[in-house]
């Protein structure tokens, strides 16, 4: 069975990390290609307006497979050059594919999100968590550094100082601290996490799909591109949106005081 399951529910795609026996650890050869194929499939489906990433079993993801690290197997086998290439082909492919999802992504963090698992959560646009969730960037505790882009991701989510504190101490933070630091936006009881994620996803999926993907692109560019560049992107994207039927529907619904029905046209 695939390590990443995909299920379409209406306009929402549910992506589930599927190695519950290892707390959804990654590090097997082929992980990168599996995730790339799934994300490509989701991007090609113009009917999908929002995606949810979660984990099976009792964890979101424990990160890299520590047992495979110890035994020098999978992506952790071979010479230094070979391990570097494995990181590029497997871990970097995983994070790049998820980061490249064109529709808004919600991370529904159930349980532990540690190391690479925390970095996977940071790839999402919105993060919600169960009340027993734990977050940590514990690479230094096993003599490693964030090899999958976490040093770039985390500080953009919670700021440099707190990201540095998490990395340099390796400590775990609970859901309440994660919310206080801006790592997550909601805490819900574990039994209610799936329902809360889908309710949020459905709110997002009710928006016009073309404009929604363009809005995500602008939000991403807005984190690093110069102001002038973002303004040019905004003008171009806005011009395209003005020519859609969904724009006409939205304005008509507003004037007629009814809920709009967006069809992606």
How many angstroms separate the CA atoms of 171 and 253, rounded? 50
pLDDT means per 10 residues, the chain with 265 residues, are: 92 96 93 96 96 96 90 90 92 95 97 96 97 96 91 94 96 97 96 96 94 93 89 90 87 87 85
What b/e string do you get for 148-173 counting C-beta neighbours within 10 Å, with b at 16 or more?
bbbbebbbebbeeebbeebbeeeebb
pLDDT for the residue 185: 96
**pTM for the predicted model, two decimal places:** 0.92
Q: Give the list of residues 6+ apart from residue 126 with CB closer than 8 angstroms, or none.
A: 104, 105, 106, 107, 185, 200
Where in the chain does DSSP place strands (E)?
4-9, 12-17, 50-55, 59-61, 105-109, 112-114, 126-130, 134-136, 173-174, 186-188
Tell the residue number behind the tokens 């290609």, with chain if given: 33
Closest CA to 62 of 126, 29, 109, 4: 109
pLDDT for the residue 258: 86
pLDDT for the residue 259: 87
Domain formed by 4-205, architecture: Alpha-Beta Complex (3.90)
């Amino acid at each position: 069975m695939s390590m990443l399951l995909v299920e379409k529910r209406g306009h929402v795609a549910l992506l589930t990390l599927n190695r519950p026996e290892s707390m959804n650890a990654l590090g097997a050869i082929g992980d990168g290609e599996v995730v790339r194929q799934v994300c490509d499939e989701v991007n090609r489906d113009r009917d999908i307006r929002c995606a949810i990433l979660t984990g099976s079993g009792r964890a979101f993801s424990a990160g890299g497979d520590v047992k495979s690290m110890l035994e020098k197997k999978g992506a952790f086998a071979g010479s230094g050059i070979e391990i570097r290439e494995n990181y590029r082909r497997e871990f970097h492919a995983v994070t790049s594919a998820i980061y490249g999802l064109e529709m808004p992504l919600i991370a529904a963090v159930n349980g532990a999100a540690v190391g690479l698992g925390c970095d996977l959560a940071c790839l999402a646009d919105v993060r919600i968590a169960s009340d027993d969730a734990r977050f940590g960037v514990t690479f230094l505790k096993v003599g490693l550094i964030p090899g999958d882009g976490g040093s770039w991701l985390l500080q953009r989510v919670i700021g440099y100082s707190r990201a540095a504190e998490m990395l340099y101490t390796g400590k775990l933070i609970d859901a309440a601290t994660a919310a206080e630091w801006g790592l997550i936006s909601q805490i819900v009881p574990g039994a209610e996490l799936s329902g809360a994620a889908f309710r949020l996803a459905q709110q997002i999926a009710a928006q016009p799909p073309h404009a929604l993907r363009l809005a995500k692109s602008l939000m991403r560019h807005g984190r690093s591109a110069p102001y002038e560049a973002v303004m040019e992107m905004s003008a171009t994207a806005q011009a395209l949106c003005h020519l859609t039927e969904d724009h006409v529907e939205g304005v008509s619904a507003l004037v007629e005081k009814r809920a709009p029905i967006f069809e992606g046209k």
